[in-house]
Amino acid sequence: MADDKKLCFCMGLTESEVREAIISKKLKTVEEVGEATKAGTGCGGCQGNIQHLLDEINK
């Protein structure tokens, strides 16, 4: 997706990439997302946004 915004700048992951991993792997925590995608494991600045995605998807 050309206009997909970066979610994790350290690891170069977009929001849609992280969203797809959460859905396909049934991830429930920021830690699980980090293990599966490496998102949030660099500086950690995107962990709040990852949690927001998790909350949205797993409501």
| pLDDT (0 to 100) of residue 4 | 87
pLDDT in tens, 2-18: 468 999 999 999 999 99
SS (H, E, C) the chain: CCCCCEEECCCCEEHHHHHHHHHHHCCCCHHHHHHHHCCCCCCCCCHHHHHHHHHHHCC
Whether pTM exceeds 0.85? yes
The helix-helix angle for 47-57 and 30-37 (nearest 10°) equals: 110
